[in-house]
Amino acid sequence: MRRREAISLGSPGVGLQLTRGEHAGRIVLPNYEVYHIGNNERANDNSVSYSDDGGETWSLTPPIEDDGPVASGDEAQLAELPDGGLIMTSRIFPEINGRLVSFSHDGGERWTKHRKATGLLTPACMSSILRYSWPGDESGSILLHTLPRTQDSRSNGTLMISRDEGESWQSVKVIVPGDFAYSCLARLPNGDIGCLYETDDYHKISFQRLNPELFLQ
SS3 string, 30-85, reads EEEEEEEEECCEEEEEEEEEEECCCCCCCEECCCCCECCCCCEEEEEEEEECCCCC
Over residues 13-45, the pLDDT tens digits come to 999 999 999 999 999 999 998 877 777 777 788
The pLDDT score that the predictor gives to residue 123 is 95
CATH code assigned to 1-117: 2.120.10.10
137-143 mean pLDDT: 97
Question: Which stretch of 23-27, 42-46, 65-69, 134-138 has the lowest confidence by average pLDDT?
Answer: 65-69
Spans of all domains in the chain: 1-117, 119-217
Mean residue pLDDT across the chain: 93
Q: How confident is the model at residue 217 (pLDDT cuts 50, 70, 90)?
A: confident
What confidence score (pLDDT) does residue 4 get? 58
